[in-house]
Structure 1
Amino acid sequence: MSEQIKRKVDLNRVSHSVRAAQAVLQYGVGAMVDFPDQTLVTAAPEYWSGDTGRIYDDRFAKALGVDYFAIPTNIAYARFPEWYFCPKCRKFQPLRKWVDEYRKSANPKILERDEYMVEHMQCPKCKQDLVVARIVTVCEKGHLNDFPWVKWVHTKSKKPVCGTPALKFKTGASGTEGLEGLSVSCSCGATASLKGAFDKDCFEKLDQDAGTDFFRCSGNHPFRHIREKCPCYPKTVQRGASSVYFPIVYSSLVIPPYADKLNVKIEQSKAFEDCVTIISDEEPEDKLNTIKKRLPKWTEKIALEVGASKSDVEKILIKKWLEPETSEVDVTGIQYRIDEYYALTGEISSSSGKALGDFSREEMDIKEYKIPHIKSVSLIDKVRVVNALIGFSRISPAMNRNDKGFVDVKESDTRWYPAYEVRGEGIFIEFEQSDIDKWIRDNPAVIERAKRISDNYSTSFIGKNHPRTITPKFIMLHTLSHLLISQLSFECGYSIASLSERLYCSEESDGKTMAGIFIYTASGDSEGTLGGLVRQGRPDAFPQILKKAISHAQTCSNDPVCIMSKGQGRDSLNLAACHACGLLPETCCEERNAFLDRGLVIGTYDNKEIGFWRDML
């Protein structure tokens, strides 16, 4: 809705609302959202109106090259698809024509309030609610276009496009089913069904046969209200198909010193927010001078509001704004996880001791657990996780900015990303690396089994663009994490979808040896959750939970097919793991339910020795 974006026409707040998490995940920038009365595309952040609730995480923000993050509040939407038809008179035309007809017949008082037919989309003549087009086209560069209805019906009829095309959409022709039963006709006599519209390269073949260049991608980005030149031929998809939108969401734990109580109080102060607004409005070359010039005054103002000494506040502001930035860190890389690992294991502690704002850790006495292979257990009583939407892709999933088809959700000069945060609790388990090394060294079959998954990954679509070696240690830790989440959900009453995992697995050659699992709640209010998960991590509960999780992994309702599998799931990236045993809801898993194998946890029918936890059975 180009005019609506420019004029920022307000939609009904009751019928057009989404949760903050939805506005970052499945209904994020660039995604189509089916509201009760119309379909809209979430517009770029630059079109959002009013003040957005700010989220601060300096480590995360610097890694992504922004100043802060913002909770989706007053979100703007664009009308797309633009083609609607009336189910009574069957008239089928773009929205702008419907609006023109509406303006000619609408009551002046209604027209004054709703100039663009936003409140109630209906045929001005029949008074029937309009129905949006079912199909759209997408291309590998991330463009989203209306299906070329006018060109399609005329080209298929082998007629030139008439001067004033007026289309009608018909369904359910007698004796025909599927796409053949859906037809479009023009007032000039051209008519065509939708047969072949979903065929691979159908648009390219139409151009070749007709000797035209009609059907190339229109280069439309409705979320930005722009069109780009695009050499691709698009692909026809259902409006709600999963391949229309793949969000790229990064997450980060807020760790000390960024989680310290004073740091949190400063970020929540009005004076600090005013300073950030001034800094964000400055040109990049002027920011440093502005900060240096105003720092003493800002320090005094913030210190007065938060009730802290000026020297302590100044140290934090200098760290935030004046410390030289290192080269941009890959949020998905090992080094970023190493910082979190230090915090979870206690190697990084808060400068303010136990007076923490967003991160609280309690280290347990591992001797009380009497569990083999576990080095330490830490109860994370309080944790804040920030999830930011940085981009999306269409047709094929992308993982970062360098991937083919990546579309950034914001302009380069916008200094924030849409995000939401959750405050919760968690259990961190660190494993004995020496025991894992011995298990791999003494069992060649373990390496062979992991290599099967690693080889399947290397030939997959994502694996070709993001090469990595899937190690036995990673598969074992990941599978155990899934088993523990399922058991913890049963024990403490959380739904499985409200728990998430964070895996820490690397070798010395990566910068640090890590072998740990962090299971945390991905829901909760501003004060976090009620301690139900942390309680299960104490010595009188966790050993039994671990034993039950491992014991339940011995059987699956799909055995022996599951345990003997040579490859199942997406791109055959799992071995002994299916929906009846090892898979979890997508929101729980970091790896999209891949790289799982019960065989490396409890062994297989023909080789029990390859199970790392076989001695607990």
Structure 2
Amino acid sequence: MNTQSQTQRVGELRTSQLLHTFGIGAVVDLPNLSVIVRGLQEWDPAHSTVLRENRLLDAVQRKLGKQVAELRTPPYTPPNLANPFDEWARIGVPVAAFPRWLRCTRCRVLASADSGLFELLSDVYRPDKVRYVHSCHAQGRKRPSAVPARFVLACQEGHLDDFPWMYFVHKGEEPTGGEHALRLTERGTSGEAANVFAVCGCGQRRPMSDAFGEENAAKNLPGCRGRHPHLGTFDGCGLRTRTMSLGATNGWFPTQIRVFSLPEGETAPEDEVAKNWGTLATVAALPKELARPVIVSLTFWPDLEPYGFDAVWDEMQRQLASVGERPKSVDTEEEVDLERPEWEAFTRPDQVNLPDFTTQRVARPRGTERYLERVVLVPRLREVSALYGFTRIDAPEFDVLSTEASRVAALSAEPPTWVPCAEQRGEGIFLQFREEPLVAWEGSPAVKERERRLRAGHDAWRANRRLQPGEWPGTRYVLLHSLAHCLIREFALEAGYGASGIAERVYARGGADPMAGILLYTAAPDSEGTLGGLVSLGEKPERLGSLIEQALDAARLCSSDPLCSEHDPVDHARLYGAACHVCLFASETSCVRNNHYLDRTLLVDTMAHDDLGYFG
């Protein structure tokens, strides 16, 4: 990683962290200073690797535009630890010091890093030792460290700025004359905002508690300047700002799209031919043997090659023969369906045995035939995720294909031509549910009434946050999502993985082409993936059946009952019914819906309802 002022290594991050925890625009808390990851305009793609995943690239292009041509890993070169002055030490992810205001740990003086009061000490052999120092005491490297100021400003549009210390201490007035050196002092040992004071040399002082809360923010803080420190821009915003503690968990939320790598050739080359039809149309009228060397020499041929030349040629002829019909193009408004190809791959009747995707159908546990259609073990899978933006203060909307664009901050100052991505390998268990009993259950009057209450809570939740009306995922989704959370807890006790390491993928869709299934999987960035703990749970049907029964039994009673089971989503304007941290909530690494759309009432009989549970 590099600082903006001078090129030097200041720390290390894993590739997965650069997408999930400390991505572009996020503040990284290092041992002695904090930095912000710079935008893509500062990254060097020459030292990154291109990952081919066409479905993911199409979905990203829907978000950011057709100019996005590639998915790339963050730049990296294997280090030569014997010589920290080699070129490898200057290759990495660029960062800049943020916040720019620093506080001396000895005299507590508060000033900007550009004021000349602080000096940056580098250490090429120990990047974790890089720090700012203040010359108020001792000499050389024994000088006291200067640490980042504890508070910053943010707004809901993703802007981030230094805290306006002078403005805040002097209550919005421009100080004139006299001594105006600032200090940040604390009283007591609690560290709470009421005991932290910003003090000016002119005698003005103010507690930091005056900067927190909506009323205080409106009275005591300036409007947002529209600053994006990762881009070095000021957009001009004017919205109400909000004081945040440095390193707060709501300071950065990634907006990502994730897909599984599916077997090549699972779909016809229709989409790829249509995407490149402008070039292919010029050779489609040639004889096949004359067109072959031209087509295989095109730059996008590697995207078509997995389908085989004959299949590509046949598709070209089909589109050429479509009189009056415009070839299908990815420029249409039709959304990219990420779930359907995965569903078809998991539910196909034959088994798959490929390096990045392996399936194995096993027997259903005895007693589950009423609701389970099939059980599929997935010993090997590959998940590729791409970062296309981020939000602050509030988490992004949960469906990656319907996130409100105005709240998503950009990754670069100009429209990007590539986005960072990461790949993980792992294993999982896929459960497909029978459609007939599920449809009958969904149509019962009691379930429809419960759906009405849940949907009313969904609408109220969005209205309270001034969000546009969003699509209700359906009762089927809430049922399968709740079951997935129950199984995550139970599987974690048996598989050897922590509950936070097991993720979910819910396939729930009604209508003419329905889906009803859940995939529980775990993945790791290591090239060998995981150790097979999840797959082993399904190898013996009686073991899997016992785990399912135990998970359902645990869901019937929560230690927070009857409060949990009586929770009404309408009264509280929540996106969940009978669910809480005791019974259903999972870690944020497991649940892509941020623990929303959960309800034990739809799953099993509870203290408040004994006529709704699908497994009751």
- Fold equivalence (TM over 0.5): yes
Question: Which of 381, 405, 408 is the aligned partner of 1:406?
Answer: 408
Q: Name 2:186's counterpart in structure 1.
A: 172
Distance 2:55 2:358 in 1: 18
**Corresponding position: 1:132 with 2:148:** yes
Q: Name 1:38's counterpart in structure 2.
A: 33
Give the counterpart letter for 1:518 in structure 2. L
Q: Name 1:222's counterpart in structure 2.
A: 229
Return the offset for 1:257.
Answer: 2.3
Q: Name 2:100's counterpart in structure 1.
A: 82
Q: Name 2:258's counterpart in structure 1.
A: 251
1:248-296: CA deviation from partner (whole Å, max 9, x where unpaired): 1221112232689xx9xxxxxxxxxxxxxxx9xxxxx99999xx99864
| CA contact 2:71–2:386 (8 Å) conserved in 1 | yes
| CA contact 1:381–1:531 (8 Å) conserved in 2 | yes
**Corresponding position: 1:545 with 2:556:** no
Structure with the bigger percentage of helix = 1
Return the offset for 1:552.
Answer: 2.2
Distance 2:294 2:95 in 1: 38
For residue 598 of structure 2, give the secondary structure of its aligned residue in structure 1.
coil
**Corresponding position: 1:47 with 2:42:** yes
| CA contact 1:390–1:417 (8 Å) conserved in 2 | yes
Return the offset for 1:456.
Answer: 0.9
Question: Which of 46, 71, 81 is the aligned partner of 2:73?
Answer: 71
Distance 1:145 1:536 in 2: 49
After superposition, the Cα gap between the structure-2 partners of 1:45 and 1:564, relative to the gap in structure 1 and judged at 3 Å, is: same
| CA contact 2:179–2:202 (8 Å) conserved in 1 | yes
| CA contact 1:24–1:419 (8 Å) conserved in 2 | yes
Instruction: Number of aligned residue pairs: give it.
Output: 554
Give the counterpart letter for 1:43 in structure 2. R
Q: Name 1:416's counterpart in structure 2.
A: 418
Give the counterpart letter for 1:60 in structure 2. L
| TM-score normalised over the length of structure 2 | 0.78
Distance 1:295 1:597 in 2: 54
| CA contact 2:225–2:235 (8 Å) conserved in 1 | yes
| CA contact 2:51–2:72 (8 Å) conserved in 1 | yes
| CA contact 1:410–1:417 (8 Å) conserved in 2 | no
Q: Name 1:57's counterpart in structure 2.
A: 53
Distance 1:4 1:607 in 2: 58
1:181-218: CA deviation from partner (whole Å, max 9, x where unpaired): 433344455544435222425465358xxxxxxx2322
**Corresponding position: 1:121 with 2:132:** yes
Identity of aligned residues (%): 26
Q: How does 1:175-574 map to 2 (within 5 A)?
A: 179=193, 181-188=195-202, 190-202=204-216, 204-205=218-219, 215-257=222-264, 296-297=296-297, 311=309, 325-327=329-331, 335-346=337-348, 354=352, 356-366=354-364, 371-399=369-397, 402-442=404-444, 444-461=445-462, 464-508=467-511, 512-523=513-524, 525-538=526-539, 539-567=541-569, 571-574=573-576
For residue 595 of structure 1, give the secondary structure of its aligned residue in structure 2.
coil
| CA contact 1:457–1:463 (8 Å) conserved in 2 | no
Distance 1:579 1:586 in 2: 12
| CA contact 2:18–2:24 (8 Å) conserved in 1 | yes
Distance 2:572 2:21 in 1: 20
| CA contact 1:245–1:394 (8 Å) conserved in 2 | yes
Distance 1:176 1:601 in 2: 44
| CA contact 1:377–1:428 (8 Å) conserved in 2 | yes
1:570-612: CA deviation from partner (whole Å, max 9, x where unpaired): 9533322222221211111121111222222221336533221
Return the offset for 1:137.
Answer: 0.8
Distance 1:602 1:124 in 2: 66
| CA contact 2:210–2:220 (8 Å) conserved in 1 | no
Give the counterpart letter for 2:503 in structure 1. S
Distance 1:346 1:515 in 2: 14
| TM-score normalised over the length of structure 1 | 0.78
| CA contact 1:58–1:258 (8 Å) conserved in 2 | no
After superposition, the Cα gap between the structure-2 partners of 1:540 and 1:182, relative to the gap in structure 1 and judged at 3 Å, is: closer
Distance 1:518 1:142 in 2: 33
Q: Which moved more, 1:475-484 or 1:188-197?
A: 188-197
| CA contact 2:183–2:200 (8 Å) conserved in 1 | no
After superposition, the Cα gap between the structure-2 partners of 1:572 and 1:196, relative to the gap in structure 1 and judged at 3 Å, is: same
After superposition, the Cα gap between the structure-2 partners of 1:528 and 1:191, relative to the gap in structure 1 and judged at 3 Å, is: closer
Q: Name 2:84's counterpart in structure 1.
A: none
After superposition, the Cα gap between the structure-2 partners of 1:466 and 1:47, relative to the gap in structure 1 and judged at 3 Å, is: farther
| CA contact 2:55–2:338 (8 Å) conserved in 1 | no
After superposition, the CA RMSD in angstroms is 4.1
Distance 2:186 2:220 in 1: 25
For residue 378 of structure 1, give the secondary structure of its aligned residue in structure 2.
strand
Distance 2:34 2:421 in 1: 23
Distance 1:543 1:174 in 2: 56
1:350-380: CA deviation from partner (whole Å, max 9, x where unpaired): xxx8552321222335597753111122222
1:142-199: CA deviation from partner (whole Å, max 9, x where unpaired): 111111112222336x5x3337974221423599995454333444555444352224
Return the offset for 1:460.
Answer: 0.8
